[in-house]
Amino acid sequence: MAILNRADAAPENASSPVAAAVTPLLIGPPPLDADKFRRQGRQVVDFIADYYACIDDYPVRPDVAPGFLTGKLPETAPYTVEPDALTAALRDVRELILPGITHWQSPRHFAHFSATASNVGALGEALAAGLNINPFTWEASPAATELEVVVTDWLGKALHLPEKLLFAGGGGGTLLGTSCEAMLCTIVAARDRKLAEIGEERMGDLVVYCSDQTHFSFEKAARIAGICRGNYREIPTCRESGFALTAKALQAAVSADEAAGRVPLFLCATVGTTPTSAVDPLRELCAAVEGRDVWVHVDAAYAGAACVCPEFRHNIAGAEAVDSFSTNPHKWLLANMDCCALWVRQPTALVAALGTDGDVILKDAVVRSSQTGVVDYKDWQVALSRRFRALKLWLVLRCHGIDGLRAVVRSHVCMATAFECMVRADARFEVPVPRQFALVCFRLRATAALPGEDKLPCGAVDDVTANNELNRRLLEAVNATGRVYMSSAVVGGMYVLRCAVGNSLTEERHVREAWNVVQKQAAVVLAIKNKTDNQVPKN
C-alpha cells in the first residue's frame, strides 16, 4: 500500500467514492507493527521493572495539591508528534505522572484492601490487550469463552465453592470487572424473575437487605436497578456480634416487610466486610429467608480469596443454599485490575434478565449458540463488549498454582497477625474488633491521652468524640509521613485505623516499620493533645 505524508492528503475528497478509488490510500506511521512492538514493548517492560525496583523510594501517597498535573499539560492534544514519541511519553510518565500517583503496589500501602499484583497478572493483561479480541459470543472467539468456562470452574473448585455454583454442577461462572457489577447483574436477575411472577407494576414493593457494614456498592447497585430508595434495608449490627448480620435481625426485617405487603427480593451477605472484614453467617441467614424466594448473594470481594486455604473455608459454610457468590481475584489473588468472578446457581435467570435475542447483527451466531448449547457471555453481564480476562486469570492459576496462591494468602495473614501482636503489646492501643484475615483494625484507647491521670467516665459522649478525633489525627499524621498509607473506618461509633496487609512486595520488615511509624506519630499527637488539654481549665 502506498504510504503518503499528511501533506499529500486531500481530506475534502476522502469521502468521495470516485476520488478515493483512484487516489493512493493514505496512511500515517503504521500504528500496529510487529518489529516496532518488539522494541517499544521492551521499553515499557523495562519501565515497569524499573518502577518496581524503586517503588520504595516514593512516598506512598503523593504530597500534591489539586491541579498539580493539569497545569503542567498542554490544553490540547498534539497534532504532530516527534519521531520517537514513546520515549518522550515515558519520560513524562516518570517525571509528571509517577510523582502524583498513590502507589498501590508500594510495600508500605496498607490502605483500603490491597490490589495484590503479580508479574503474570500484569503480563496477562498485556497479552489480552495485545490479542485485543472481543469475545461477546462463543463465536466471536470460541477459545476465550471456553477458557472462561474452564477457569471459573477451576477457581470455584480451588475455593471449594458448592458444586451447584459451577458449570460442573449446573451453575456457572463469569468474569466481570467489579463486585458492583456482580451485585447489579444478580439484583436485576432476581428482580425480573420476581416481577415475571407478581407483575411489573409491583416494582415499587421490592425490598433488598444488607447490613450496615455492607459495601456502599450494594446500595448503588440497588438504586441503579430501580429499587425504591425507601426499600433498601440496612440492618444494624453491633460490636457484640462482631459486626456480622444476625439471622434474628434479618428475619425481623423481612417479616415486617411482608406484614406491610412488601416483597422481600434480595439479600446481600458479606464474607469479609470492608470496615472490619466481618463475616456474615451464611447458613443462618439462608435459613432465615428459606422458602421465601429471596435471592441470596454473597459478596466475598476480598475474603473469598482466603478460601484457597482449607483453614479459612469455614467462613463460607452454608454457601450451598446461596444463589450467587462473587470474589475479586484482582484483590487478593494476583490477577491485576480488574477481575471479579461471579458464580450463579441458575444461569438461566441471569440470561433471562440480561440476554438479548432481537438483535439484527448477532442473530445468526446466537441461533447457532442456542443450538449447540455454548455460553454467550454477553448475556451474563451489563455490556456487549468484554475483554479476554480469562486469559489473565488462567495465566495466574497456571503459573502460580493453588499452592502459590495459598502461600500468598498465608504470608499476608501471618504479617497481619504479627502487626496485631505488636499493637496489643502497646497498652496505649486497642484492637477493638478481632483481626480477620489480613486486616487489623486498631486505635488509641480513650485513656491513652491521659497516662497515669484521671480519666473521663468511660463511654461518655465527649470521650467518644474526642477519642475519634484523636485517632483521626493519628491517621493523618501517619499518612503525612509518606512512609506508610493506612485507611480508616467508623464502626459502632468508633473511629478505627485499618492496616490491610496484602501487597506482593510487602515483607515483614515493612510491617514492623509501619508499626514504628504509628508509634512515633502516636507520641506526637498525644503530646499535642496533652498540651492542649492542660491549657483548658478542668471542671
Query: Distance (Å, rounded) from C-alpha 326 to C-alpha 178?
Result: 9
Q: What is the identity of the amino acid at 364? A: D
Cα dihedral 10, 16, 22, 27 sign: positive
Which residue lies nearer to its own copies by CB, 78 or 459? 78
Query: 496 with 442: CB under 8 angstroms?
Result: yes
For residue 240, state whether it binds its own copies (rule: CB under 8 A). no
How many residues of this chain bind its own copies (CB under 8 A)?
A: 203
For residue 287, state whether it binds its own copies (rule: CB under 8 A). no
200-219 footprint of its own copies as x/- string (CB under 8 A): xx-xx----------xxx-x
Cell of 345: 446457581
Cis peptide bond upstream of 426, omega within 30: no
Reduced 3-state DSSP string for 474-536: HHHHHHHCCCCECEEEEECCEEEEEEECCCCCCCHHHHHHHHHHHHHHHHHHHHHHHHHHHHC
For residue 35, state whether it binds its own copies (rule: CB under 8 A). yes
Cell of 402: 493453588
Scan for cell 459522649, then name that residue.
Answer: 461
For residue 103, state whether it binds its own copies (rule: CB under 8 A). yes
Query: Distance (Å, rounded) from C-alpha 451 to C-alpha 428?
Result: 8
Which residue lies nearer to its own copies by CB, 290 or 357? 357
Which residue lies nearer to its own copies by CB, 337 or 450? 337
For residue 504, state whether it binds its own copies (rule: CB under 8 A). yes
For residue 9, state whether it binds its own copies (rule: CB under 8 A). yes
Buried b (16+ CB within 10 A) or exposed e, 95-113: eeebeeeebbbbbbbbbbb
Q: What is the identity of the amino acid at 385? A: S
Helix (H, G, I), strand (E, B) or coil at 88: helix
For residue 352, state whether it binds its own copies (rule: CB under 8 A). no
Residues numbered 439 to 458 that lie near its own copies (CB under 8 A) are none
Residue from 161, 244, 298, 415 touching its own copies (CB under 8 A): that is: 415
Which residue lies nearer to its own copies by CB, 176 or 286? 176
Query: Distance (Å, rounded) from C-alpha 158 to C-alpha 332?
Result: 14
Residue from 260, 360, 458, 461 touching its own copies (CB under 8 A): that is: 360
Residues numbered 300 to 329 that lie near its own copies (CB under 8 A) are 309-312, 328
Which residue lies nearer to its own copies by CB, 41 or 236? 41
In whole angstroms, the minimum distance from the beta carbon of 528 to its own copies comes to 19
Reduced 3-state DSSP string for 314-380: HHHCCHHHCCEEEECHHHHCCCCCCCEEEEECCHHHHHHHHCCCCCCCCHHHHHHHHHHCCCCHHHH
For residue 94, state whether it binds its own copies (rule: CB under 8 A). no
Span from 235-243, 250-258, 356-364, 462-470 in contact with its own copies (CB under 8 A): 356-364
For residue 83, state whether it binds its own copies (rule: CB under 8 A). no
10 Å Cβ neighbour count for 11? Answer: 8
Residue from 164, 345, 406, 443 touching its own copies (CB under 8 A): that is: 406
In whole angstroms, the minimum distance from the beta carbon of 272 to its own copies comes to 13
For residue 361, state whether it binds its own copies (rule: CB under 8 A). yes
Residue from 197, 290, 469, 508 touching its own copies (CB under 8 A): that is: 508
For residue 260, state whether it binds its own copies (rule: CB under 8 A). no
For residue 38, state whether it binds its own copies (rule: CB under 8 A). yes
For residue 226, state whether it binds its own copies (rule: CB under 8 A). yes
Query: 447 with 460: CB under 8 angstroms?
Result: no
DSSP element (H, E) containing 259: helix 247-259
For residue 283, state whether it binds its own copies (rule: CB under 8 A). no
For residue 499, state whether it binds its own copies (rule: CB under 8 A). no
Which residue lies nearer to its own copies by CB, 330 or 345? 330
For residue 459, state whether it binds its own copies (rule: CB under 8 A). no
Cell of 283: 447458613
Residue from 59, 108, 117, 175 touching its own copies (CB under 8 A): that is: 117
Query: 338 with 178: CB under 8 angstroms?
Result: yes
Query: Is residue 199 left, alpha or beta, with left meaning phi > 0 and alpha meaning psi from -120 to 50?
Result: left
Residue from 242, 264, 272, 275 touching its own copies (CB under 8 A): that is: 275
Residue from 58, 160, 163, 178 touching its own copies (CB under 8 A): that is: 178
Residues numbered 365 to 384 that lie near its own copies (CB under 8 A) are 372-374, 382-384
CB hemisphere CA count around 43 (13 angstroms): 15
Which residue lies nearer to its own copies by CB, 15 or 539? 15
For residue 160, state whether it binds its own copies (rule: CB under 8 A). no
Residue from 57, 79, 453, 459 touching its own copies (CB under 8 A): that is: 79
Span from 245-253, 288-296, 318-326, 397-405 in contact with its own copies (CB under 8 A): 397-405
In whole angstroms, the minimum distance from the beta carbon of 206 to its own copies comes to 10
For residue 144, state whether it binds its own copies (rule: CB under 8 A). yes
**CA-to-CA separations, 528 to 447, 450, 522, in angstroms, rounded:** 15, 12, 10
Residues numbered 469 to 498 that lie near its own copies (CB under 8 A) are 472, 475, 487-491, 498
Scan for cell 496498607, then name that residue.
Answer: 110
For residue 11, state whether it binds its own copies (rule: CB under 8 A). yes
Cell of 42: 521492551
For residue 85, state whether it binds its own copies (rule: CB under 8 A). yes
Q: What is the identity of the amino acid at 410? A: R
